[in-house]
Every structure is written in C-alpha cells, then in structure tokens.
Chain A
Amino acid sequence: MTTTDQWIPSTCGLCYGTCSIRGHRVDDVLVKIEGNPESAIGRGRLCGKGVSGIMTLYDPNRVNVPLRRTNPVKGKGVDPGWQEISWDEALDEITARLRKIHDDDPRKLFIQRTTTNTSIRAPMMMFAAAFGTPNSWAAGGGLHCGNGAHLIGGIYHASWSLVPDFQHCRFAIYFGASKGHGAGHVSCTNMQDAADARARGMRLVVVDPMANFAAAKANEWVPIRPGTDAAMALAMVNVILNDLGVWDAEYLAHKTNAPYLIGPDGCYVRDAETRKPLVWDAARGHAVRYDTPDAAALALEGEYEVAGVRARPAFVLLREHVRQFTPEWAEGISTVSAAMIRRLAREFAAEAMVGSTIVLDGKRLPYRPVAAIYFRGSQGHKNSVYNCFAIELLNEIVGAADVVGGALGFNPVCYGHPETGKPWYEPKPGPDGLMITGTWVAPHLPYPIADPKPPTTMSLGGLFPLGMFGPTMASSDQEELWTKFGLPYRPEMMLNYGANSLLSVGNSDTVAATLARIPFIVSFDITLTEFSEFADIVLPDTCYLESLDSRPNVPFIFNHPAGLGEWSWPIRQPVVPPAGQRRLATDVLVELVDRLGIREEFNAVANTHLKLDGSHRLEFGTRYGYEEICDRELKSHFGAARGLAWFKEHGVISWPKRVEEVYWRAFLGVRVPIYWEFLIGLNRNAKRIANAHGLDWDDVWYDPLPRWLPCPSHEVRDGAFDLWGFYYRDTLHTNSFTNENPWLDEASRLDPFSYTIALNAATGRTKGLRDGQEVTLESPHGRRVRGRVHLTETVHPECVGIGGCAGHWAKTLPIAQGKGVMFNDLLEVDWAHGSPVNLNLDTCVKLRIVP
C-alpha cells in the first residue's frame, strides 16, 4: 500500500480565534496540526488548544448517525432514549415540522448557535432570514461576551473589539481583558504581538480581580472589585480633564461630538434648516453646522447664546459631569486606592504625548502611544454600557483611538486585494455626523440607533436597539415578559447548532425549564451534550477538521490581527473525510432550504449577505450546494481564477495592509460621540412603550454621560454573602466546551487553576479552609456549585475566580464529566439581572462558602 502524506491548509475551530492551520494527514489519519505560517492569523503558531484538535476529531464519543428521542419526558439527566434513524427519516420529519411553522408563523422557529464555530454565523443568519424568523441568538454570546464591549467597539472604533497598537503603544491599561494572553479574538497573533510589545518595553497595567493571564504578565496588577471598572475609569477621566487639564483638543474637536452645542434640554442645538447639530466657530464668532468644511476653531469650552438658548459644547458637560467622580469616591466602590487612580491617570495622560506626531510610510500621523482596553471582565455586567463607555473615554479624551500607538479597532477599514479591490469597506458618517461602521457582525449596526418599537421578538430586541441578544431567550421570567408585551406567538421549534445553552447561559435549571417548553428541538452536534438531552432529533455534524467554509475569518473586524502587517483570507476545508454518517451542517441547511421551497429567498439573502457579484450571483431558481456557494463567494472577492479549487490548494490569500487602513482615523471624516445625545430620545420613546406594557423603567440607565451603576451583586445586603464570584477565560478552554478533549483535560488537571475555585489565600485561612478542600458556593438565590478551592495570592481577597466553560455532567462526555466547576449555575437569568439598556446579563454574583 502506498502511503499518502499531505499537509492540508485549513482553519482551527476550537474558539472564535479561528487561527489558520495545516493538518498533516498520513493516509487517512490526521497525525498533526500546526499553524499555517502563510497566514497572518496565527502566523504559523497555535495555542495549546489549537494543536489538540486531533483528540476532538477522534473522540469515540462523537455522534455518527442521526438520532431520534423516544422518551417524551425532557429534563436534566433524563435519558432521551436515543434511537438511530436514517438521514432521510430525520430530514423528512424536520422538513414537515419546519413547513408547518413556515406556513403558520415563521417566527415560531427559534435558532440558536454556538459562538465557538464562527463559520456557522453567516449560513444560519441567511437561513433565518430566508425562513423569516427574527428569533436567533448565539447562546451565551451576547449575554456573556459582547453586548457592551462590541457595542462600544462598534460606536467608537467601527470594530467588534480593540487592542493596543502593539507595535507602537507605550502604556496600555486593560480593564478585564486578556488580549495577547492566550484568549479571544486573534488569540495566537496577539500573543506574539503582545510579547513583542513587552520585549520592546510597553508598560502594561491590568485592572482585574485576578492575576492570571494578562495580569500575570503585566508590569502592574491592580486588583479591583468585580463590576466597578466604570468607577475607576471615570475617576481617571476626572483627574485627567479637571486636575491635569490634559486633552487632545484637535481630536475632540474634529473626530468627536465634543464641540456639539448642547441646549438646556440636554439635546443638540440644531440648525433650523438642516437639523444638523451646531458647533461654535470661535474664528467666526458664531455657531455653524458641525460639518462646515472650513470651520477650524471649534470651541470645546465656554457658553454661548445660540438660536435663543444658552448652549455649551458637549465637552463642557463631560468635564462637569465627571467632577463628581473623585478618586476617593471610586476607591470606596472599586477598592482601588485614590492614590493609585491618580498616579495611573497621570501616567496615562503623560504617556499620551498629546500633540505629538510620527511619520509612517511618508505620512505624518498623530502619535498617542496609550490605550485603554476593555473586554469580557469589565463588560460582563448589568452596567456593561457605561463600564465600556467610561473606559473608552480615556482613549477619546487624549485622542488615542485608531492612531499610531493608541487603541486600535480590529480592521475597521479594508480597501481590498490589490487586484480586485475587495473586500472593501470603511466607516462613514451617519446621522449627526457620527460614525457608521463599514461592516458588522450582528444583524443590526451599533449606530445609527433604531427607533424603539413594541417588541415582536423573543429577545424583546425592538425595544432595546442597543442590545444584540437578550436574556428572555432563556430567562426564568420569559413567559411573564412575553405576556406583558403581548408577544403573539411562542417558540415551537428550535434549530440548534453546536450550542450547549444548558451550560453557556446561566443557571441550568432556568435554561432547562425554557428548553422543556419548546415542543421540538433539532440539534446539530458532534457529541451528545447536556443540551442534547432536550433535543428531539440530533444530527451528526462534521467537526471543524471535516468541514468546509469559505469565510472562517470574515468579517475582518471580528477576528483578524489589527496593526500593520498582512491581510489574510483563509478557508476551512476537510483535513480528513467525515466518518460515519456525519454531514456538514451547512450542506444540510441548504438541503432544508430546498426541501422547504425557500430557495429563492435564500439565494437572494446569500447574494446580499455574501456580497456575491456579477456572474457569481446565485440565480433564484437554481439549487446550489454549500461548496458552490463558497466558490462563488471567493470568486466574487478574488476573481474567477481564485475560486474554491484555488483556495483548497493554497489555503489562504494574503496581501499587505496599508497605513490608511490601519491608522484610518486621521484619513476619514467621521466623528464618535463622547456625549450620547441619542439616548435622550431613545429613553423617551422606549420608556413610553415599556410603561404602556407595565414594565418599570429607570431613566438612570439612559443618561448621555456615563456613571457607575451597581450590579445586583453590589446590592446584596446580607453580610453572610461575603464574596464576589466571577469567571474567567481559561486559556485551555477559552470560548469552547473542550473539557472533553483529553489532551486539554490532562493539561487542565495539571494546571492549578483550570478546574479549581481560586480563593485568596488569606481569605481562605480566615475561613479555615485548606488548599484542595472541597467546598460549596451558594448565591443569595440559593444556587449552589461544588468544587475544590485553590488558595492563591493571585485573587482579590473579596473574590472567587472560576474558569469558564466547565462542569459537565453528561455521561455522554466521559472525559469532561465532573471536571471543573460550572460557574454559570450560580447566575440568575431574568430581567432584574439584565441591563435595561442593552440587555446584557450580569455575570458577577455574591456568594458564600458553605461546608
């Protein structure tokens, strides 16, 4: 027998970092996974998880055939009584049920997907749109990752997230973020860039309740009480603006709405004719429209008589607003000392070098080598919007946004491959001159803000245009809220792709109750999970190493390295053929489209969504397999010669980035809001609708300027609950349920933190606990989890830290079963624990240790 020996370029799928890989296949066996050095995404290097995918692929507990449940009773730990069925049987039944719903009310279809495999995002969104259901969410996503961070990233950086400009930054302050330390977007490239930055001498200060990952590599760790980031950041803004008097007037005047004149009602003073906001032009001595081309002396200070009202620039309001947030006040809330806050503010302001420039590629650009970065830690709270807004203000007031050395969005601008000019996108000015992103991940853009409407979706999204997904998809009070708002239907069927919402949302009892109410659930899975116990049909999915996709890293604002370097567009392709009867889920979706007779709708959506061009557009009447659609997408972007066949051979296409793309802020005439005037109108309208439906409303969440608002955990009065619980993204399992992978499980068991409850050593001693002791944690709502404590000096004395994505109990996951602690089981999923402005679920919880 001849041995075949191949290296097949593809894309990792064990977190949304989706690094480019090469699979070494000998005969039909995958023997090694390495990074693909030809791609900017990972640059040939992988994290521990990335190289371990072999064990996920070859897990003997994979599902190989379609399964139908025989036990009508659904519940946690209830055996569904799986019966093997054929694909035809499965698809016949699914089609019949979908058709009935489609004919009746398509909104009764509830679509759920994982955030781990980003490749499913576009096909599922396209399917949902073609089918006609607005009820779709990424389970866990939106609640746990980005309702706040992505929203603020979108509004200020036209991007899903941000990093320091690792190549030029000199001082970065992270608030609950670990970019560059083995987790999250562009995980592997960022690790390298962050290491280079450390070697170069970038100072890193990490504000975090725990000193693992980013804080472990920081020059300084600032322990903070969970959910209080806004207090600290606002005090820093106050010190910088009011004590130090430092700000970037040029940036604020021309790149933000700081000069916009605000009337006594808190709203913009507008031009009577065009309704455009006015600014005060000191050179002219009168107010002009913000977009007056030759207005160069826009006032940031003072008070002016305009159109019969006293008006002040928004910047004045900001400065006055933050005066109340003294470092001493912030210390009381955050436990970070006032002296520390003052010192960090001073350092940040000084290191910003306001006014300095640098020449790159022959172009003189602003040079602001400081960055304030926020992510899951600071955003995972009821107050996520203000937390992120407050931190972002640090970048904005010194002009350190998308300029050299500052806080960079992930690729908000792309002018495309030199030969085709595609993909092409850039931010543009929207209503009132504020920035609209050039491309986006979620169905609706962060700005402009839609008018609130009486909600007609399961998430109540219409009423909360700042949110992506809402807890009501799986909350304990969903029925109450749906009834309140008169939702005219209930979910009748769920189509789930790979999400394990039992573990990824909040406490599993609440989620289980919501799932048990859904009459029919179909789930694409690679293994049977806790979620599958609630499914009626399980379809055996290909894992990422058996899958094909033309856009694993699209859009670039989601997961592509920021900073100068290269663009890379890789594909995913099977490294080994699918075993058993596993089928590519997207292929099955396309088949369902055809069986349902919604081909025309689907093809139309695909043409728009995938930006298919010219002869590569899908004809409405023709059936296309998923490969064909992928081929057309690639050709649309990179020319007829570079279709799927070319990509299968080469794996990735790369081309150099331009200075205008990376440091785009100086080149584009867009502004961002330091004063969220639009919240005033939004609040007025949303409140009216909410009150009409009997929902209490608190205006405090809709102030145009940020403040610190307490999480439910900060309002627990019972002193017995003396600890704050939070979870963190363990590098071995960040954003994926990979406890079942035995290589990763082995590494986790060797890690002192992965599977334990990290508790401050002194706190543990006062409680008489010893390292390794098994304890129960209990929330004020009586939720309990059990695990072993690890006594450590790396955690805030008031806190316990738990690695996320753990705590499986399903017998069908024999490696994962009983490993680690399911933190989410402590979380309430209800209206009270969600943000009334963007629906973000609070993920910190007050706890006590019981024997």
Chain B
Amino acid sequence: MALSATPDRVLADLGATFRPQRQWVEGRGIWLIVGHFLSGVGAGTWLFALWLDWRPGLVLAIAAVALSGLAHLRFLGRGARFWKMYRARTSWIARGFVGMSIFLPAAVLALLVPPGALSGALVVLATVGAAILIVYKGNVYAASRGVPFWNSPVLPILYATYAIRGGLALLLVTLPLGGRGIDAHGVGLIELWVAVSAAVMLGFYLGVMRSTNLAARRSVAELVRGRAAPAFYLGTVAVGLLVPILIGVLGFAGPLSHAVLAVVGATSLVGDFFAKYAIAKAGIYVPLMPAGREPVAPAA
C-alpha cells in the first residue's frame, strides 16, 4: 500500500511554514480524487443521458458513481465504517454520502422497474441524488478552512461546472460507440460553452485566490510554478481546456465528426480529473503564526 508520505516527508512537511496538503491527493489519497472525479462525471452523465433519453448513458452514470463509491472506500482509513457517514447536518461529506445513497438505489431501480409512475418517481429521486453529488464536492473543499486555497465559495461553482461538463464529455466519448446519432453541431456548441465557462471559472477562481491570504497565494504559486504545475498546465489547461475549446471553435466552421467529438470528450475528462488533482495538490495549510504576525512572503 502506498503511503501518503514517507516518514521523512511527513517531518519535512511538518517543519515547513507553508505545509503542503497531501492527504487528499497522494498515496491512497489519489483514490479520493478518482472518487470525486467519477461521482461528478457520473452525476453529470445521468443528467445529460436523461435529457438525451439514452439508456446506456444512464447505466454508464450508475457505473461511474458506483466506481466512485468503491474509490472512496479505497481511500478511507477505515472503509468498513463507511455506513456511519450520515451526519449530514453540517458535513458535506455526509451529504455526498447521502446523495450517493439516494442516487445508486434509485437509479438502479428506475432502470429495473417498468416505465410508469414509480419509475418516474425513482428517476426524480435519482436526479436529486445526482444533483447532490454535483454540488457536494466543491463544498467539501470549500469547508476546509485549514486550506485557504479551497476555502472559497467559488470552488463549489467550479466543481459543479466541471461535473456537468464531465457528464457531457463522457457521453461525447460513448455515444458514437453506442451507435446513437446526435446533433453534433449542437452538442459541440454546448461543449464549447461549458468549456469556456469552466475556463472562466478557473480564471476567476485563481484571480480571487491571488488576492486573499498568503497561504492561498502560495497555493496559486504551487499551481502555476510549483509542485502542481505540470498537472495544471498539461492536464487542466492544455488537454482539459485549450484542446476542447480549440476544437469547439473549429466546430463553428462546420460539423465535426464523431471521432473528433470523442476526442473533445476524452480530453475534457482528462482535464476534469487533472483540475481536481492539481487543485488538491496545490493545497497549502494555514501557516501557524504568533497573533498579529504574517509569515515572511513565500519565495517564488
């Protein structure tokens, strides 16, 4: 089992004024990122598959969320106690768990029962669960007051945007495989819109973060020129944003082939994953300072 950090690095981190967050990205922590990624994509897929009324997409959504659940179990230090996570009054993780607990049985049953009032109600229930899954993740990060970079109302919006785009992206990859024809041009436009909005959100997010406290600025520095920079530039920006946007812009000139749309989808998914990965990786804890003192500004 890979550890989050070697003993040497645990001490190096503890000794640092600006302590990097590793619990939710390194070692077994990577499974949490995977879990967050899959639950977002799954929930987003559910919404779009419903809209397109494409049954395999619904199955795919369920599979993604179920895998997300497994990834979460892999991440937890004591996965066997997962059923205790129902304290949803103040905990966004518990809310996410409730969302998943609603979504999975409701969605599965909705597909199994014959069409009718019951299945309609189940679909509504599953969609509520999916909505919770889309909303909760960003809030889990935003509730992390120890990591100022995350502790922002912008993050839930960014993560919801990514989830929706992720759902669309998964469908772009899988629809052609399913032999289903779609209005390629229309989907491309939506895709472009979502990609741009995600880019705008990300830019907004980083801009806001730059202006807040030192730890958050340090996180931005980690993202743009530190430990998280490769994932950020390659994964989040280049593959995740620039490529789909570019292709989307080309889409104005004429219809895109299904293969190209699949590429847009795939790159969007990669981008989605690395956005979560890079933002997690760039997390820096509040430095502990004597009252009224600021740490020395972080070195570039």
A interface residue numbers (CB < 8 A to B): 746, 749-752, 770-771
Contacts and interface: CB of A to CB of B under 8 A. Distances in A.
A762 to B, nearest CB: 14
Contacts of A746: 11
Contact of A752 (B11, B15, B299): B15
Which 9 pairs from chain A and chain B are nearest by CB?
Answer: A750-B15, A749-B11, A750-B14, A750-B11, A746-B11, A749-B15, A752-B15, A751-B15, A771-B299
Nearest to A751: B15
B298 to A, nearest CB: 12
Interface string B84-120: 0000000000000000000000000000000000000
Given A746-B11, A749-B12, A750-B14, 8 more contacts: A749-B11, A749-B15, A750-B11, A750-B15, A751-B15, A752-B15, A770-B299, A771-B299
Interface string B259-279: 000000000000000000000
A157 B14 CA distance: 45
11 contacts: A746-B11, A749-B11, A749-B12, A749-B15, A750-B11, A750-B14, A750-B15, A751-B15, A752-B15, A770-B299, A771-B299
Interface residues of B, number: 5
B291 to A, nearest CB: 18
Nearest to B15: A750
Contacts of B299: 770-771
B178 to A, nearest CB: 55
A786 to B, nearest CB: 18
Contacts, number: 11
A752 B12 CA distance: 10
A544 B127 CA distance: 69
A709 to B, nearest CB: 40
A770 B12 CA distance: 17
B94 to A, nearest CB: 34
B50 to A, nearest CB: 53
Contacts of A752: 15
A771 B17 CA distance: 13
A746 B14 CA distance: 10
Nearest to A771: B299
Interface in B13-37: 14-15
Nearest to A793: B296
B18 to A, nearest CB: 13
Nearest to B7: A746
A799 B15 CA distance: 24
Contacts of B14: 750
Nearest to B8: A749
A449 B56 CA distance: 102
Contacts of A749: 11-12, 15
A771 B296 CA distance: 13
Nearest to A745: B11
Nearest to B11: A749
A820 to B, nearest CB: 14
Contacts of B12: 749
Counting chain A CB atoms within 10 Å of each CB, the highest count among B11, B12, B14, B299 belongs to B11
Contacts of A770: 299
A749 B7 CA distance: 11
Contacts of A751: 15
B296 to A, nearest CB: 10
B9 to A, nearest CB: 11
B28 to A, nearest CB: 23
B35 to A, nearest CB: 32
Contacts of B15: 749-752
A48 to B, nearest CB: 16
A401 to B, nearest CB: 38
Nearest to B14: A750
A751 B11 CA distance: 10
A6 B239 CA distance: 66
Contacts of B11: 746, 749-750
B104 to A, nearest CB: 44
A746 B15 CA distance: 10
A749 B9 CA distance: 11
A752 B299 CA distance: 17
A476 to B, nearest CB: 38
A771 B11 CA distance: 17
A547 to B, nearest CB: 32
A51 B179 CA distance: 72
Contacts of A750: 11, 14-15
A752 B14 CA distance: 11
Counting chain B CB atoms within 10 Å of each CB, the highest count among A749, A752, A770 belongs to A749
B115 to A, nearest CB: 63
A751 B12 CA distance: 10
Nearest to A752: B15
